[in-house]
Structure 1
Amino acid sequence: VTTGEYGSQMLSLGGVHHLTGGSKKEGRVTCDALMDLSNGKPVEMTVDGGVTVVVQAGHPPIVNGVLEERMRVGCGSATIGMFAKQWHGKIDEVVVVDDHITGVLSEHQAGKLLDIPDTGIKLKGRRSTPGRYFQVAEPGIGWGGTNISDPLSVLGPFDPKTARPGLRMMMVSTTGEHAAYFELDETLKPVEKEMPADLKKSVERIQENCEPALCTVLFMGGAGGSLRAGVTDNPVRLTRSVKDALTSVTCGGAPVYVWPGGGITFMVDVTQVPEGAFGYVPTPALVAPIEFTLRLSDYAALGGHMDHVRPLASLKSNTEIRQLPKQLSEPRSRK
């Protein structure tokens, strides 16, 4: 796991260090997993010190056997920025629990602009800027991607100089899957009560604004020297032609992102590539389709193999050519 953004975990898999730099078994297992992922098949993997996850391009992830339904609407701070106006006048305090940034309405700039008074609330964790807290809990599969099941565990005692009995507080996660409503009793301790209908609607609005959970698999590879030699007698000219935007690169007809720097290194969304397009060689290494499209005159100028050029019409009449369906390009609809 290299990093994360708004709860989406980003994994870097494969590469030559695992394919050929380790044991023969490690290389085979790595190659099989990468090929299955690239061809849209599910692959189960375990993160060291973490969870077991099933990844399949275009499908929701399955974490520890549980199918994830939605992404987070944002971090806790972003959630407050989005929905503060909808809470104004209906609640005294809102805490949006998130393992990245937990937000507190009364301290947040959005709350200040609405003249929401201080509530005397105290949060655990590390305060970043007003209304934003880091590390209120450990990461997990509980509230807001933390390891907690009781939201009150992230709170300290309320300040008696500011807090008052009857103060209304809602705690909600960044997906809206967890939410609870509390009122302070005479000792300034939160007591859970039934959530008012207008607050329930705001929780539903958070859920509505969460996009469906989805695994994205991006294949990254490069055009080797022998491949480029199959295009031109002088392979570096093909590289320069791509950099100069004279030559377009695709992968099985799918658009790609060509990385800056030397060589022709590209990245492609595997759901846009024809089904079963990825293969392997015994090295072990993956093999992906790649096409270069350019004007005939530019091809001649870069030293292309002009004696092997064929008119498109001659290919269209070839009975061996078949149309390949694309892999799943849209996530499955939620029931």
Structure 2
Amino acid sequence: MQNDITNGLGAASDGRIRCDACPVMCYIKPGASGACDRYANHEGELVRVDPHVLLDRTLADGGAIVPFHRDGSWDGKLIAEGHTFVTAIGAGTTYPDYKPAPFIVSSEVSGVDMVTVVTEGIFSYCGVKVKIDTDRFLGTEQSVVRASGEAVGHVTTSEYGSQMLSLGGVHHLTGGGKKEGRVTCDVLLDLCNRKPVELTIDGGAKVVVQAGQPPIVNGVTEERMRVGCGSATIGMFAKQWYGQVDEVVVVDDHITGVLSEHQAGKLLGVPDTGIKMKGRRSTPGRYFQVAEPGTGWGGTNISDPLSIVHPFDKKVAWPGLRLFFISTTGEHAAYFELDDDLAPRAKEMPPGLVASCARIRDNCEPALSTVLFMAGAGGSLRSGVTEDPVRLTRSVKDALTYVTCGGAPVYVYPGGGITFMVDVMRMPENAFGYVPTPALVAPIEFTLRLTDYAELGGHMDEVRRVSSMAAGDSQRAIAPHADNPWPLSPNGAKRSFG
């Protein structure tokens, strides 16, 4: 346990001490932890239960990034400055926000003195955006998303091959009943810490979401996201179908494609077939609303592809016409030939079309769930960085200050405030905590040149060299995420900003 955070509010006669790490201000009995499970009473001292996480970057093996402090050979000293980044995970908070950030550390990088201001933010204004790779219908836009029966968010706009959910936010955390706030906080915490969460959507599906894992929709694990809409699939594979089949219909909930009418088919010389589609024709070879949304073919509610086709035009179609239906993932496919009455009859699929189905499946990316944590780092959190908080906001917008979340790069939204978003898969595991107000606790770091920090009105008396930090069991060093820019690199910071 970490024992460098002491209680300044005194102890009760029975040995309980009061924790001032968040607005709840628990009285903690000896040997017990507070309501958040992050702070405990250890022999009369308020201590952090979790270790403080450092990122370690060494230049061994030709510059490879390797783990640190894992083989038992560590001599108790931190590695060279510039190769250790102090994250906010396990660092503690600035609450009640009149005091400087828990760690303000400097180091020299390529001859430049840098400083990183480290704090765990208590975020009531936070949520997650969840990207679910699936063509399945999850629910109509604005439908309520629930967990344990409580409203925790809503369905938002569908994007290319993915369904999107917006979960959390201050209204669900604090604007509803006590149970709604608690359940919302639990959902956000589990999702951000990469744990599975079961969600139900009003009028729609039940889905299990876990960051970096395939979504499970109504008990079925998704394997792939679509290669494109029906029209795009026509464009990509028209040449491969030409000569093997007379007509292709790519079934898709959004845009169903028809080869003979599509511009790609016209340029290849595919003749008219007399096919008549249901739905609303947009442009040649592109149809909207051929069926209702669902979990069947191409994200529609159909199980029989012939249900979206009217009888063929007898003046144009011919007996023996070869008709191929396929979905945008290649999961569903069927082959027909027209009989003498121009009615489609199911036939065994030719080998070339079987290979085409496999090609489409191979071109589909694996279906994943992506969890993006989003929060507003406003108000009092900034006072832990500078006595003039608006100057921090301006320095972030001017790219003088680089914002990270557990060492991971973030996207900072334009406009007022410091509203940021981060992919939780690029952060260390279990980087998030909570307080039962309810709110999420998330790491945030601000890195900039030491000279810029001084001009910002920073807490210069609190700056200490990273090499002066006492090492021990209260710290845990891990390797950085291989795809993340090194947070202490000024050039890398600016390139990856925004």
TM-score w.r.t. length of structure 2: 0.65
2:323 pairs with 1:151: no
State the 1:223 CA deviation. Answer: 1.2
CA displacement 1:158-202 (0-9 Å, x = unmatched): 000100000001000000011111100011010010011011111
State the 1:323 CA deviation. Answer: 2.0
Please name the residue that 1:333 is paired with: none
Counterpart of 1:180, as a letter, is A
Q: Distance in 1 between matches of 2:223 and 2:246?
A: 30
Q: Distance in 2 between matches of 1:324 and 1:142?
A: 44
Q: Distance in 2 between matches of 1:116 and 1:239?
A: 59
Please name the residue that 1:259 is paired with: 413
RMSD: 1.4
Q: Distance in 2 between matches of 1:39 and 1:124?
A: 45
2:342 pairs with 1:188: yes
User: Residue 205 of structure 1: SS of its match in structure 2?
Assistant: helix
What are the within-5 Å matches in structure 2 for residues 1-335 of structure 1? Answer: 1-315=155-469, 317-319=470-472, 320-324=474-478
User: Residue 5 of structure 1: SS of its match in structure 2?
Assistant: coil
Are 1:275 and 1:324, in contact at CA under 8 Å, matched by a contact in 2? no
Higher helix share: 1
State the 1:9 CA deviation. Answer: 0.4
Q: Distance in 2 between matches of 1:280 and 1:223?
A: 16
State the 1:313 CA deviation. Answer: 1.3
State the 1:271 CA deviation. Answer: 0.8
CA displacement 1:284-306 (0-9 Å, x = unmatched): 11111000000000000000000
State the 1:325 CA deviation. Answer: 6.9
User: Residue 84 of structure 1: SS of its match in structure 2?
Assistant: helix
Q: Distance in 1 between matches of 2:376 and 2:477?
A: 25
Go from structure 1 to structure 2 and tell me whether the alpha carbon gap of 1:125 and 1:154 turns closer, same or farther (over 3 Å shift). same
User: Residue 213 of structure 2: SS of its match in structure 1?
Assistant: coil
Are 1:7 and 1:145, in contact at CA under 8 Å, matched by a contact in 2? no
Counterpart of 2:176, as a letter, is G
Counterpart of 1:252, as a letter, is G
User: Residue 322 of structure 1: SS of its match in structure 2?
Assistant: strand
Q: Distance in 2 between matches of 1:130 and 1:150?
A: 24
Counterpart of 1:201, as a letter, is A
Extract unaligned runs of 5+ from structure 2: 1-154, 484-498
State the 1:90 CA deviation. Answer: 1.0
Are 1:102 and 1:136, in contact at CA under 8 Å, matched by a contact in 2? yes
Counterpart of 2:408, as a letter, is A
State the 1:222 CA deviation. Answer: 1.6
Structure having greater relative contact order (Cα 8 Å, sep ≥ 6)? 2
Q: Distance in 2 between matches of 1:273 and 1:169?
A: 49
CA displacement 1:205-255 (0-9 Å, x = unmatched): 000000000000000012132110000010111001100000000000001
TM-score w.r.t. length of structure 1: 0.96
Counterpart of 2:276, as a letter, is K
Higher Rg of the two aligned structures: 2
State the 1:327 CA deviation. Answer: 9.1
CA displacement 1:76-101 (0-9 Å, x = unmatched): 00000000011111110000001111
Higher strand share: 2
Go from structure 1 to structure 2 and tell me whether the alpha carbon gap of 1:144 and 1:151 turns closer, same or farther (over 3 Å shift). same
Please name the residue that 1:332 is paired with: none
Q: Identity of counterpart residues, as a percentage?
A: 78
User: Residue 25 of structure 1: SS of its match in structure 2?
Assistant: helix
Stretches of 4+ aligned residues off by more than 4 angstroms: 324-329
User: Residue 257 of structure 2: SS of its match in structure 1?
Assistant: strand
Larger mean CA deviation between 3-12 and 229-238 belongs to 3-12
Q: Distance in 1 between matches of 2:462 and 2:256?
A: 62
Counterpart of 1:2, as a letter, is T
CA displacement 1:99-155 (0-9 Å, x = unmatched): 111000000010011011100001101111100001111111111111111011010
Larger mean CA deviation between 5-14 and 172-181 belongs to 5-14
Are 1:171 and 1:181, in contact at CA under 8 Å, matched by a contact in 2? yes
State the 1:44 CA deviation. Answer: 0.2
User: Residue 323 of structure 1: SS of its match in structure 2?
Assistant: strand
Counterpart of 1:127, as a letter, is R
User: Residue 237 of structure 1: SS of its match in structure 2?
Assistant: helix
Counterpart of 2:453, as a letter, is Y
